Amino acid sequence: MNRDVVAALRAIGLDAMSFVEAMRFIETAVGSDIFSRHVILRGSTRLGFPAAELERIEATPDGDLAMTVAAMGLTGALGALPIVQTEALQRLMRAKDLGLRDFLDIFNDRLLHLLYEVHAKYRLPVAYGRRERAAPDSITEVMLALIGLGLPGLRGRLGRDDELLLPFAAVFARPCRAAGDVAAVMAAITGWRIRVEPFHGQWVDLPVSEQSSLGIRREQHSRLGVDTIAGSRIFDLAGGVGVHVGPLRYPDFMALVSGGADARDFATLARFAIGPEFALTLEVILAHDDVPAFQLAQGVESGRRLGFDSWLGCPEGDPAVTPRGCPV
C-alpha cells in the first residue's frame, strides 16, 4: 500500500502539491486510524532555498512511509535552529552517522503532525474528509445546527441525505429567506426547474366563533366597518406560497402527483425550506412533448384517470401542461 502511495505522489509531482495536500492524500489512502503511526515526517537537512514544500518521499524497509518536509522543521534553510547546527548535522551524515538526524526527527515528526492537525481543525475539506471517524467533525456539527438540524433526533426526516443541505447553510440559517434563494436551493437538490411564488393566496375557512352573526344575545363580529365579515371564509393573500415545478418528464411528473414516497419527500423538503408558517400549494408542470395520448383501456392499472393524468390534447403553442395546484 505505501509503495503505491509513494508511486502515486511521485507521479503527481512533489513540487505540484503542498504539505497539507500530500498529507490529505496519504491519510485518505492509508486510513485515519493508522495515519499517525505509519507516516514518518522528517525535517530538511539542506541549506539551499527550497523550491517546494516537499523534498522527498519514500517507503521505509519497515513498511512505513517517510516524507521529508522543507516548509517547517528544526534544521534546514527554514529551520528553527541556527545554520551552524544544520552544517554540523551535514558533516555527521556524510560520515554515515545518522544518530543526531534521527533524534531531531523525533521532534520534527511531532511538530509536523501538529501542524497538519491545526490545519485540519479549522478547514472544512480536511475535517469533512474525516467524517467516517466515530466522532463527527465539529464543522459539520456547527453547520447542521445553523440549518436547524443540530440535534440528532431532527435528522434523517427529509427523505434524503441531510448533508446535501450543508452547501446551502447560509440560506437556511437566515430567518427570512428570499423566494429566489429557496427556488435555487431546491432546484440544486432535486435537479428540477423550480419557481417559488410568494403571496399565493388561498381561501381559509373561518371557525363559527369567528363568523359574524345576528339575533343572539351578544352579537359577535357585527360592527359594520370594524369586524363584520360576510361569509364563512376569507381570502388570505399573505399566508400562502406557491411552488411551481417543471416542466418535467412524464416519470418525474407521475412521481410527484401520485402521492408516493417521492412526493412526500419533496413536500417535506419544500416545507423545511420555506417554513412551517406558510400554506404551500404545489403545481407540477408536465412537458408538452410528454403529454400521453388519451386512450380507453380495461383495468385500473392500464387506464387513465380523469382529472388526474388524462388529457384530450393541448394547443401546439403551449410549452407545457399545468394541472390544478394541490396543497402540500
Task: Note whether 144 and 189 are same-domain residues.
Answer: no
192 domain-assigned: yes
80 domain-assigned: yes
- Tens-digit pLDDT profile for residues 196-245: 988 888 888 888 877 777 766 566 776 776 777 888 888 888 888 889 99
Where does a domain end: 68, 94, 129?
129
Cell matching residue 58: 519514500
Task: Note whether 156 and 59 are same-domain residues.
Answer: no
Task: Note whether 142 and 26 are same-domain residues.
Answer: no
229 domain-assigned: no
Task: Note whether 22 and 47 are same-domain residues.
Answer: yes
226 domain-assigned: no
206 domain-assigned: no
Task: Note whether 184 and 101 are same-domain residues.
Answer: no
Task: Note whether 163 and 241 are same-domain residues.
Answer: no
**In 122-206, which residue ranges form alpha helices assigned H by DSSP?**
124-129, 138-146, 169-172, 179-190
Angle subtended by helix axes 19-30 and 99-121, to nearest 10? 90
**Would you say 128 and 139 are in contact if contact means Cβ atoms under 8 Å apart?**
yes
Query: Which residue, among 148, 146, 128, has the nearest Cα to 137 in the 3D structure?
Result: 128
306 domain-assigned: yes
Structural domains in the chain (count): 3
Task: Note whether 69 and 90 are same-domain residues.
Answer: yes
Instruction: Show Cβ contacts of residue 269 under 8 Å, excluding neighbours closer than 6 positions.
Output: 158, 159, 160, 186, 189, 190
Task: Note whether 25 and 81 are same-domain residues.
Answer: yes
Integer Cα distance of 184 and 176 in angstroms: 15
* Per-residue model confidence (pLDDT) at position 293: 72
Task: Note whether 29 and 104 are same-domain residues.
Answer: yes
Residue 151 sits at the vertex; the CA angle it makes with 143 and 282, to the nearest 5 degrees, is 75
Distance in angstroms between the alpha carbons of the first and the last residue of the chain: 53
Task: Note whether 107 and 37 are same-domain residues.
Answer: yes
231 domain-assigned: no
**Would you say 281 and 242 are in contact if contact means Cβ atoms under 8 Å apart?**
yes
Query: Which residue, among 16, 113, 34, has the nearest Cα to 73 in the 3D structure?
Result: 113
Using DSSP, state whether 321 is helix, strand or coil: strand
**Would you say 320 and 287 are in contact if contact means Cβ atoms under 8 Å apart?**
yes
Query: Which residue, among 148, 147, 150, has the nearest Cα to 138 in the 3D structure?
Result: 150
- Determine the distance from the C-alpha atom of residue 221 to the mean position of all C-alpha atoms in its chain, rounded to a whole number: 51
117 domain-assigned: yes
Integer Cα distance of 13 and 8 in angstroms: 9
Task: Note whether 120 and 18 are same-domain residues.
Answer: yes
> Could you list the residue range(s) of the whole structural domain that residue 65 is in?
2-129
Which residues of the chain carry a pLDDT beneath 70?
A: 1-2, 32-35, 131-136, 215-219, 222, 225, 295-309, 312-328
Task: Note whether 161 and 171 are same-domain residues.
Answer: yes
Query: Which residue, among 42, 44, 41, 54, has the nearest Cα to 90 in the 3D structure?
Result: 44
